[in-house]
Amino acid sequence: MKKTLLSLALLCSGIFANAQKETSLSIKPAGDQMVSKHIYGHFSEHLGRCIYDGFWVDENSTIPNKGRIRLDVVAALKKIKVPNLRWPGGCFADEYHWRDGIGPRNQRPKMVNTNWGGVVEDNSFGTHEFLDLCKMLDCEPYIAGNVGSGTVEEMAKWVEYLNFDGVSPMTAIRKQNGMEKPWKVTFWGVGNESWGCGGNMTADYYSDLYRRYATYARDYAGAPLKRIASGANAEDYKWTETCMKNIGAGRMWGLTLHYYTLPTGKWDAKGSATKFDEEQYFNTMKNCLRMEEIVTKHSEIMDKYDPKKKVALIVDEWGIWTDVEPGTNPGFLYQQNSLRDALIAGTTLNIFNNHSDRVRMANLAQTINVLQALILTEKDKMLLTPTYHVFDLYKAHMDAKYLPINFTSPDYTLGDKKIPALNVSASQDSTGAIHISLVNLDPKNKISLNTDLGELKWKTVTGQILTSANLTDVNTFTAANKVQNAKFNGAKKSGNSLKVELPAQSVVVLELK
């Protein structure tokens, strides 16, 4: 009998140990802090099939296009209100010479893309084509200038070509190429990854070089530049310290940060995009969550030199980086996109929203057919990835007032390891509607939430959810809608409290009105 009671006690204790406790959240009214729409930016490099066979189709293609820009891709990106697009790189930016990509296409010189696959770049997609694309997307262009292999004069003349509305040799060439008035491009990157593929520079050397290049990248009437310095790789806090000290807050609009989530944490064997077990999933999410610490520490350094937070921290390369799909060119960085990637996207965007006092721009890498892509194409076929659907959900936060949240996350445990299972961000838009984005990283257990909204007034709650049966689930060209957003019915009003049953491995966005 004693043995039976002991067994029953142990069984009950196991059940209670695995039971999901209710988590309480409190959401405070908005202050002056805004969630910039530019946090939801994207990145398109001359890499693999992102530009060519992504945005840009062959001259005689039967795929619907306008001036060779693929229209189904444009429509999909307009739906999620892409706010800005970064181009031409990446590593490619520091070997790109802009004058090779203007004028009649049949006269443009060809080059070798030494960074990405050693393929021939025919320069048919250049400055005019990129800015036509941005106009079609109704987004702001973000151009990365060539510091690594370029010259001060080259960058200065590119800015003049884009932004000057007067008489000069560059404006004469622009008009000759069919553009009478300037585009007035304001987001301007001074180099890319200058610590690595952009020149393997020291922080001190780059800081001095930045000041020189930025001096000659002029402000023209109606187009004051938002100059962006090439910032740190992941946890290189010394780089940030040196740039803030040597460049100074008054000489740059933003300072970049690059951090990629590697499933294994190893660059030489990153792990598969689609074949992984729970242990590798756990490690991937642990590496994803490092973004919180990295952003916090870089922000603290910036605060020392810029307490008024005038300089934006711009995470203009982020996302999961896995091994390429078997049988594809290793230099093209083509990978599939699973529910795991959607959870990474939702988590990372929540981190950025919660640091929106300093993080005011970010760019997912990359838009089409490369790394954590929003869109995959195969000839005339196109599909939207799980990551795309997260951006569709989160667009509600763009240019909304940030709402502070306080909560303690339950743990997601695997063996003797644990990470926070829950991450959240919230905002209030110009109509007064409240949006709460919730991510449950735990693949087994739901989370019960009781949310106190305090002084915030609301009457109704609706929601959408992104989830699937398996973390490895993907959308394919034969099953393009396997992972997509659906109506969420797991939230209800109880007095002025919000009660939510958040399913395992899910992204949910609620709207309170």
Its CATH architecture, for the domain 22-31+403-512, is Sandwich (2.60)
pLDDT tens-digit readout, 306-354: 999 999 999 999 999 999 999 999 999 999 999 999 999 999 999 999 9
Does the active-site annotation cover 140? no
Which DSSP string corresponds to 198-218?
TT---HHHHHHHHHHHHHHS-
Q: For 420-456, how does the pLDDT look when each residue is reduced to its tens digit (9 = 90+)? A: 999 999 999 999 999 999 999 999 999 999 999 989 9
Please state, as a whole number, how many other Cβ atoms lie within 10 Å of the Cβ of residue 300.
Answer: 12
Question: What is the C-alpha to C-alpha distance for residues 323 and 335, in angstroms, rounded to an integer?
Answer: 7
The structure tokens listed for 427 are 């905002």
Segment 120-138 mean pLDDT? 98
Classify residue 255 by its DSSP letter.
Answer: E
What local confidence, expressed as pLDDT, does residue 21 receive? Answer: 67
Q: Catalytic: which of 193, 241, 292, 378?
A: 193
Q: What is the predicted pLDDT for the residue at 495? A: 86
pLDDT tens sequence across 460-490: 999 999 999 999 999 999 999 999 999 999 9
pLDDT score of 11 more than 60:
no
pLDDT range class, residue 20, cuts 50, 70, 90: low
Residue ranges of E strands in 222-378: 226-233, 254-261, 312-320, 359-365, 375-378
**Dihedrals φ, ψ of 186, to 5°?**
-105, -35
- pTM greater than 0.85 (yes/no): yes
At 466, give phi and psi (nearest 5°): -120, 115
CATH topology identical between 22-31+403-512 and 35-399: no
DSSP H or E run through 477: none
pLDDT tens by residue, 381-429: 999 999 999 999 999 999 999 999 999 999 999 999 999 999 999 999 9
pLDDT of 91 higher than 60: yes
User: What's the one-letter identity of residue 407?
Assistant: F
| Averaged pLDDT, 229-238 | 98
- Could you tell me if 198 and 148 are in contact, meaning their C-beta atoms sit under 8 angstroms apart? yes
Q: Return the CATH number of the domain spanning residue range 35-399.
A: 3.20.20.80
From 249, 358, 242, select the one nearest 295 (Cα to Cα). 358
pLDDT tops 60 at residue 7: no
Rounded to an integer, what distance in angstroms lies between the CA atom of residue 15 and that of residue 168? 77
Token pair belonging to 239? 């780089």
Residue 15 has pLDDT above 80, yes or no: no
Long-range CB pairs of 114-119 (<8 Å, 24+ gap) are 115/47, 115/89, 115/90, 115/91, 115/197, 116/45, 116/46, 116/47, 116/48, 116/91, 116/92, 116/331, 116/332, 116/333, 117/48, 117/329, 117/330, 117/331, 117/332, 118/331, 119/331
Say which of 317, 325, 378, 455 is annotated catalytic.
317
Average pLDDT of the chain to the nearest whole number: 95
| Residue 338 confidence (pLDDT) | 98
Please state the domain extents for the chain: 22-31+403-512, 35-399
How does pLDDT run across 145-162, given as a tens digit for each residue? 999 999 999 999 999 999
Q: What is the pLDDT of residue 224?
A: 97
H or E segment to which residue 121 belongs: strand 120-121
Cis upstream peptide for 109 (omega within 30°): no
Residue 5 has pLDDT above 50, yes or no: no
Let me know if 193 is a catalytic residue. Answer: yes
Pairing state of beta strands 65-66 and 69-70?
A: antiparallel
pLDDT of residue 99: 98
Produce one character per residue of 147-180: b if its CB has 16 or more CB atoms within 10 Å, e if not: bbebeeebbbbbbbbbbbeeeeebbebbeeeebe
Express each pLDDT in 22-55 by its tens digit.
Answer: 899 999 999 999 999 999 999 999 999 999 999 9
**Percentage of residues of the chain with pLDDT beyond 70:** 96
Q: Around Cβ 221, how many Cβ atoms within 10 Å?
A: 11
